[in-house]
Amino acid sequence: MANARVLNDLPVAIVGGGFSGTLLAIHLARRGARVVIVERDPQALAHGLAYGACGPQHLLNVRAGNMSAFPDDPGHFLRWLGLAEADAANHFATRASYGAYLASLLATARAMMPDRIAIAIAAAQGLVPQADGTLRLALDNGASLHARAVVLAQGNLPPQRHRALAGFEPPQVLPDPWAPGALDAIAPDARVLLVGTGLTAIDVIQSLQARGHKGPILALSRRGLVPRAHADNGPTVTPQPMPTARGSALLRQIRARARDVGWRHAIDELRPHTHALWQAHDATAQARFLRHARPWWDVHRHRMAPAIAQRIAALRTEGRLTVVAGNLQAVERRSDGSLVAQWRTRRDAQTVTRALDHVVVCTGPGGDPTQSRDPLLRALLTAGHARPCPLRLGLDVDGHWRLRDGAGRSALPIHAMGALSKGLNWEMVAVPDIRLQAQRLAEYLTPVREAVAA
């Protein structure tokens, strides 16, 4: 084992420089630790996937008043925007402005602590545990980093491929709407099918509209559920004790509460308890929730800004956007090169066909790390240093988000955060949850504060 002094001299390596990696780096540096952020895409540094390449039409789906990067300073983002807390809490800022906020936080932290935050622009692709308990992280530029701990902050896993879309390639079928330039090939009058009706589909619809799209858009998902809108004002939730009911009794209780105080209020009250409620259910009950209740939970919990909801409603009223509940069964290519999609409707099991020009996969992030093409994840799984969590919601981690190896032991100082750690907490995808995780993980990795905070 390396002695404590040697360990303290080694940095923590953070793979991924999006919101999660950036915030963890800032907290660790403030606690005196050295960190290296390894980010494969220089444009994504600090911004990550969500707050990088987005237009003015893309608004945050959380009120600015709840988007501070720091859990103990709720007004931080509002102050950065130059807005007064009293009249701006209900403001929905642009995602681009949030990216600029994160970039400024990282730049300030690096300026104040230049010897503590280093950045390596490279993809991490392998990891070799050392005999003394430290780790060596291999990068795709041939370099390697010697670290006391590694944190995987790699964001969402790519969406799962729909079996009806096997064999199709871009630009006709677009498996990843976030890929740079993914929508460029869609002509303004093209007929577009979106597979999925959640927040990803809402984003794609807005991106198409911003490009002057005039053709019909059809959005299809099994239940045809679309995210609900935030209220114009709120939330004003009085803290409630954690519900004692579990499983279907808990769902009944939430419905009853929604009748009394409104559904938004009933869902928002649960937020402080979501992680504990998830952990209070065993894997069978969690799987049942994912199978039956997840689509409803998602559309009520992850809402659209009111302005976006109005735009979507207008498109539906004008007949430019149609939302359908049904099961996509097949997509075929016709001799003229266009596509025909066939689905079975949910309501009356009718088979419907429709001619199309493009299909965009909007089913949202995948959860199964064994399906990932990321070289580092693959190397960790192959070597048995990591395993998927039982429900395939990212990696199996212990209570400190430390990876469990193939035998279920937390043997190496490798941690996962953000979406890769959803199995433990379920809700670990949005800023209000991840900002707390970044703070707690930094505390865990630096149990003795190594220097006075900068």
Ligand X SMILES: Cc1cc2nc3c(=O)[nH]c(=O)nc-3n(C[C@H](O)[C@H](O)[C@H](O)COP(=O)(O)OP(=O)(O)OC[C@H]3O[C@@H](n4cnc5c(N)ncnc54)[C@H](O)[C@@H]3O)c2cc1C
Q: Which residues bind ligand X (CB under 6 A)?
A: 15-21, 38-41, 44, 48-50, 60-62, 123-124, 153-156, 203, 374, 376, 418-419, 429-431, 434
Smallest separation (angstroms) from ligand X to the CB of 346 = 27
Cα–Cα distance measured from residue 293 to residue 277, given in angstroms and rounded to the nearest whole number: 14
Closer Cβ to ligand X, 156 or 221, answer by number: 156
| Three-class DSSP labels, the chain | CCCHHHHHHCCEEEECCCHHHHHHHHHHHHCCCCEEEEECCHHHCCCCCCCCCCCCCCECCCCHHHCCCCCCCCCHHHHHHCCCHHHHCCCCCEHHHHHHHHHHHHHHHHHHCCCCEEEEECCEEEEEECCCCCEEEEECCCCEEEECEEEECCCCECCCCCHHHCCCCCCCEECCCCCCCCCCCCCCCCCEEEECCCHHHHHHHHHHHHCCCCCCEEEEECCCCCCCECCCCCCCCCCCCCCCCCHHHHHHHHHHHHHHHCHHHHHHHHHHHHHHHHHCCCHHHHHHHHHHHHHHHHHHHCCECHHHHHHHHHHHHCCCEEEEEEEEEEEEECCCCCEEEEEEECCCCCEEEEEECEEEECCCCECCHHHCCCHHHHHHHHCCCCCECCCCCCECECCCCEECCCCCCCCCCEEECHHHHHHHHCCCCCHHHHHHHHHHHHHHHCCCCCCCCC
- The pair of three-digit structure tokens given for residue 366, joined into one six-digit string: 């995948």
Q: Contact, 340 vs 356, CB < 8 A?
A: yes
Smallest separation (angstroms) from ligand X to the CB of 231 = 16
Closer Cβ to ligand X, 158 or 247, answer by number: 158
